[in-house]
Structure 1
Amino acid sequence: MKKALLAAALMSAGVIAHAQSSVTLYGRLDAGLEYINGLPTGVGPNGQATGSSHHFAAESGDWGTSLWGLKGVEDLGGGNKAVFQLEGSFNTMSGQGPGGGGLFNRWATVGLANDSYGTLLLGRELFIANGVWDFDPFGQSNWSSASLVRGRNWSQSSNNISYQSPKFYGFDVYGQYSLSNSTNWNGNGTTPQGRQGGLQLTYTSSLFQVRGIYDEIRNPSNGLLGGAYDPNDGSTILGGNGNGNGVYAYSREYSALLNVFLGPFKVQGAYQAIRSSGMTGALPGQPTTLDHFWGGVTWQATPAAAAIAAVYHVNGNNGAGNATIYTIGGSYNLSKRTLLDIQIATVQNSKGANYGLNANNFGDASSTGNPLPGHSQTGVYAGIQHSF
């Protein structure tokens, strides 16, 4: 009898523990068709592209990254919870995963959360610069706020410690600090990541939202806010201050962002100052500072249909020139989980500049896919996205 009672008690405890914990599988699939012109063709004797062409392509992730993940929570009592999240990206068109980025290349975190004190996480996360997402009219789609800074706002952060505060009178604070794990605090070429970190302050009301972000990404080869990696292979560290992505990869970034809510309209704007240091060997046309601006409006015409228009602009020093993206688009929700999307965009380059719609690395057109210097590029994308 005692054994039967003990077994029943254990089974009940198991049911209670299960009821206090949850694991959720979630994901998003994005796919569509794309036309884009101004793509480089041919290679001349100086290594530069000799012409340009166009393509029609089946693409994944133009409107939003295809991803899948798991997240869970366990109630520890006293308002405390243990939390975890695992998330990886993939290509819907090919089924391929993130490759060298690992199975969970976006998120792999475990930590503690409390509604009154906030959330503390350890692991891999999207870098704090991704906080511009909420203030980008196109939500960091493939042709938006990452394009003219060559992916600077898209990176992930390993060896990370982060803290998210609860809201307090409309304010909340978020901070990240990522260790280099090398024998030099900032990085010295012995590990694949230099020190990274940042701080974000947000104020939210019913009428508007403002956010300020400071962040920095250190060069893993020497710990500097500058330097380079191979423009053909972003995972290969060259070191030094010569050819490569430079300020687009290793720099400080100061961001001021604004949302204004006007009934069915949302007006958004931002300014980013991106600064490097120690880039004494920068090539002509390779900037050491960038000033990045954008503004746009979203009209929620109906509960299902939204129209979007935005302009993105960048200025670079050292002969890098400037470029502007003009884009319109929109989405139509077939359901709460499925939407159709379209985007039409063009990038106009000043003489010598070669920014593309895609966030290609710094370098000549033949090796990066950027348009020819001073040339424009135009694209159209239409697709479908499903979330689960």
Structure 2
Amino acid sequence: MKKALLAAALMSAGVVAHAQSSVTLYGRLDAGLEYMSGVPTGANANGAANGSSNRFKAESGDWGTSLWGLKGVEDIGGGNKVLFQLEGSFNTMTGSGPGGGGLFNRWATVGLANDQYGTFTMGRMLFISNGVWDFDPFGQSNWSSASLVRGRNWPQSSNNFAYQSPKIAGFDFYGQYALSNATSWNGNGTTPQGREAGAQVTYTNSLFQIRGLYDEIRNPTTGALWGGAVANNGINSANTGNGVFSASREYTAMFNVFLGQFKIQGAYQAVRSGGATGVAYGQPTTLNHEWGGVTWQATPAAALIAAVYHVNGNNGAGNATIYTVGGSYNLSKRTLLDLQAATVRNSRTANFGLNANNAGYSAATDNPLQGRAQSGVYAGIQHSF
């Protein structure tokens, strides 16, 4: 009897050991002060801005999104783990949450992981186009790789299924597939999201890293690779009337080069719509977007960054270039001070702003007047926990 009880106790101890779990609360708060010139004001008879001014603004999220979340993992034995992640964004300056995006508007996933076979997750997540983050000198700050494609590089995606492979000989694969949940596979206007999908392959070694990425976002109303007409006065529905910027295919090639204290980064993106008809002059159906920059890790705490971002649109949409410098200083492992100064220069027919705004010319879009420049500088503090 004693032997039987001892065996049962040992077996129970083994089950407990295999079922170890942990939950982590984490977050980030970003806040500061921003100055921007070329901010649109007023309106003409068509609703388009007819003036511009300067603005000081209390900001949250210029260097990085303010967020909080929970993530957990349970070891179920045999090299297998169950994991989850819940994450939502908020405004540090006002305390307001994501609103219509839901409490956990960035991540709400559950899945299984195995060190040998990889990780499979389901739920809401940052869309795969956010994979440019690792190759953007400013790490997708508010004025960087999303600005000239009007937020095309940083959306979230619902109804998603994702797979991350383990790293093999320096290579790894990541893919996503998001259902529209409509009776039409690509979307038919009955659901808030069309079908979305993408895949990326990355190779990493001690000297450099390269990544190839493909993704597509379908219009939830029509299922097409075209977001619909863009109103000149900027009054349109996000993700349904923002043209190539909201529904399209995206082909991206990126690199990082590691040279001691220096990191050199660059990328090229081809953004292509499909099925666009009756497109007005000045509304692009294709975009060529590229950037390059360098980060100097001057000391373990201080980093200086310089970068250039450029976009060129067809159909008379013109081109724009962002020139920017900045950097950060770590007060501790979890707290840093940040600074960025930038200017965007538009060609005669373009009106891209520093922020990743929807297309259009109204004051509500925050875009500069057509053919005009916009400049800004911000300084802030960011704390992670």
TM-score bracket for this pair, using the shorter chain length: over 0.9
Residue identity matched to 1:271: Y
Tell me what 2:322 maps to.
Answer: 325
Corresponding position: 1:302 with 2:310: no
Residue equivalent to 2:75: 75
Which residue matches 2:194?
Answer: 194
Map residues 172-321 of structure 1 onto 2, 5 A cutoff. 172-228=172-228, 231-232=234-235, 234-235=237-238, 237=240, 244-321=241-318
- 1:354-369 equivalences in 2 (<5 Å): 354-369=351-366
Instruction: Specify whether residues 249 and 236 from structure 1 end up closer, same or farther in structure 2 by C-alpha distance, changes over 3 A only.
Output: closer
Q: 2:335 aligns with which of 338, 363, 369?
A: 338
For 1:263, the aligned partner's letter is G
Structure 1: gaps (5+ residues): 238-243
Which structure 2 segments of 5+ residues have no match?
none
Q: Which amino acid aligns with 1:127?
A: F
If the length of structure 2 is used for normalisation, what is the TM-score? 0.94
CA contact (8 A) 1:126 1:156 kept: yes
1:195 and 1:154 map into 2 onto residues whose CA distance is 16
Once the two structures are TM-superposed, the CA of residue 75 in structure 1 deviates from its matched residue by 0.4
Structure 2 counterpart SS, 1:186: coil
| Deviations 1:326-374 (CA, angstroms, capped at 9, x unpaired) | 0000000000000000000000000010000001101114341210000
The answer on whether the counterparts of 2:235 and 2:360 sit within 8 Å (CA) in structure 1 is no
How big is each residue's C-alpha offset from its partner over 1:293-348, in whole Å with a ceiling of 9 and x where there is no partner?
00000000000000000000000001100000000000000000000000000000
Give the Cα separation in 1 of the matches to 2:334 and 2:169: 32
Structure 2 vs 1, CA of residues 118 and 48 (structure 1 numbering), >3 Å: closer, same or farther?
Answer: same
Instruction: Decide whether aligned partners of structure 1 residues 330 and 77 sit closer, same or farther in structure 2, where only a CA change above 3 A counts.
Output: same
Q: Distance in 2 between matches of 1:253 and 1:119?
A: 24
Q: Hey, what does 2:121 align to over in structure 1?
A: 121
Describe the superposition over 1:42-89 as per-residue Cα deviations: whole angstroms up to 9, x where unpaired: 111232211100110100000000000000000010100000000000
Per the alignment, residue 376 of structure 2 pairs with 379
CA offset digits 1:231-270 (Å, max 9, x no partner): 5464574xxxxxx311000000000000000000000000
What amino acid sits opposite 2:155 in the alignment? S
Which secondary structure does the structure 1 equivalent of 2:42 belong to? strand
**2: distance between equivalents of 1:293 and 1:179?**
30
Contact 2:19/2:75, CA 8 A, preserved across alignment: no
TM-score by length of structure 1 reads 0.94
- For the residue of structure 1 that corresponds to 2:221, the secondary structure is coil
Residues 313 and 322 of structure 1 are in contact (CA less than 8 Å); yes or no, is this contact kept in structure 2?
yes
Percent identical among aligned pairs is 77
Q: Secondary structure at the match of 1:352?
A: coil
Name 2:158's counterpart in structure 1: 158
Contact 2:227 2:245 in 1 (8 A): no
> What displacement does 1:37 show?
0.7
Alignment of 1:133-144 (within 5 A): 133-144=133-144
User: Distance in 2 between the 1:228 and 1:383 partners?
Assistant: 37
Q: Distance in 2 between matches of 1:261 and 1:246?
A: 37
Give the distance between the partners of 2:19 and 2:39, measured in 1 at CA. Answer: 55
Verify the 8 A CA contact 1:229 1:236 in the aligned structure 2.
no
- Shift in Å at residue 224 of structure 1? 0.2
Letter in 2 for 1:381: Y
**Contact conserved, 2:322 with 2:342, CA < 8 A, in 1?**
yes
Q: Distance in 1 between matches of 2:19 and 2:111?
A: 20
1:17 Cα deviation from its structure 2 partner: 5.7
Asked if the contact 1:229/1:235 (under 8 Å) is kept, the reply is no
Distance 1:229 1:165, change over 3 A: farther
- Judged with a 3 Å threshold, the aligned counterparts in structure 2 of structure 1 residues 101 and 233 are, in CA distance, closer, same or farther, namely farther
User: Separation in 1 of the partners of 2:362 and 2:347?
Assistant: 15
- Equivalents in 2 of 1:188, 1:266: separation in Å? 45
Aligned to 1:42: 42
Match of 1:240 in 2: none
Letter in 2 for 1:272: Q
C-alpha deviations, 1:191-229, integer Å up to 9, x for none?
A: 110000001000000000000000000000010000338
Deviates more, 1:278-287 or 1:91-100: 278-287
Q: For the Cα contact (< 8 Å) 1:79–1:114, is it kept in 2?
A: yes
List aligned pairs for 1:39-118, cutoff 5 A.
Answer: 39-118=39-118
> The residue matched to 2:130 in structure 1 has which SS?
helix
